[in-house]
């Protein structure tokens, strides 16, 4: 039996979206997951989404709460870190991901022969996590963007160390972001 665990670094997907200069739009997060994990959600497929607790107007906070509730309704485990507005950066999200990663590695590396981890990220800080999982026999599948000169205000680069430390690496592009685009039940990212 195959077991799949997906980790979504929302900051990376949002940066890629902006890097390509795409307008604010809705993503169907089920499409993001089901592209690699058929049958999600079920006991053999687990997904984690890492985002931030929004700070702003009550309307913005309500919108974020509805968004996270929708993800949970889809069967996604939502983990929220803080946000440092001065640095325009997430805080504590990588630690949450690392903890979940280690728990899943230890849970699935015993008695399971076919385990796949999928991770949407560009963060090379995860290289040691990749190496540890691979030593335990888990296939680490990196899903990444590489936008050096996007039309938007942000660029996303993934260095070779994280690419080389994965079992496989799939470079995603603008077409992927368009493929996971709107449907009537999608939830908006800001």
Report the distance separating Cα 152 and Cα 15, nearest Å: 9
pLDDT, tens digit (0-9, with 9 covering 90-100), for 117-129? 999 888 888 999 9
Domain boundaries, the chain: 2-188
CATH of 2-188, one of 3.40.50.720, 3.40.50.10490, 3.30.390.50, 3.40.50.1010: 3.40.50.1010
**Residue 65 vs residues 55, 88, 122: alpha-carbon distances, Å:** 11, 20, 26
Q: Yes or no: say if 51 and 58 are a contact pair by the CB < 8 Å rule.
A: no
Specify the DSSP class assigned to residue 76. Answer: P
Report the distance separating Cα 4 and Cα 20, nearest Å: 29
Question: Which is nearest to 123 in space by CA: 140, 109, 142, 136?
Answer: 142
> CA 137, 2, 106: angle at the middle one, nearest 5?
40
- Residue 91's pLDDT is what? 72
Write out the chain's pLDDT in tens, 190 residues: 788 899 988 877 777 777 777 766 667 777 878 888 877 778 888 999 888 877 777 887 787 888 889 889 888 999 988 766 665 666 778 888 999 999 988 888 777 778 899 998 888 889 999 999 999 989 999 998 876 644 444 556 778 889 999 999 998 888 888 787 654 344 444 4
Assigned token pair, 15:
């940066």
DSSP string, 14-36: HHHHHHTTPPS-EE-HHHHHHTT
pTM above 0.75, yes or no: yes
């Amino acid at each position: 039996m195959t077991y799949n665990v997906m980790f979504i670094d929302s900051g990376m997907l949002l940066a890629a979206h902006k890097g390509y200069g795409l307008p604010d739009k809705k993503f169907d997060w089920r499409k993001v997951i089901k592209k690699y994990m058929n049958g999600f959600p079920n006991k053999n497929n687990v997904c984690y989404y890492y985002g931030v607790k929004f700070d702003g107007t009550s309307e913005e906070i309500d919108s974020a709460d509805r968004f996270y509730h929708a993800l949970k309704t889809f069967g996604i485990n939502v983990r929220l870190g803080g946000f440092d507005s001065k640095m325009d950066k997430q805080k504590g999200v990588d630690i949450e991901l690392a903890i979940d990663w280690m728990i899943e590695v230890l849970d699935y590396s015993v008695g399971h022969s076919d385990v796949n981890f999928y991770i949407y990220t560009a963060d090379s800080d995860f290289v040691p996590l990749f190496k540890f999982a691979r030593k335990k026999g888990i296939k680490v599948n990196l899903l990444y963007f590489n936008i050096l000169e996007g039309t938007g205000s942000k660029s996303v680069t993934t260095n070779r160390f994280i690419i080389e430390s994965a079992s496989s690496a799939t470079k995603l592009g603008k077409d992927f972001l368009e493929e996971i685009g709107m449907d009537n039940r999608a939830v908006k990212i800001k």
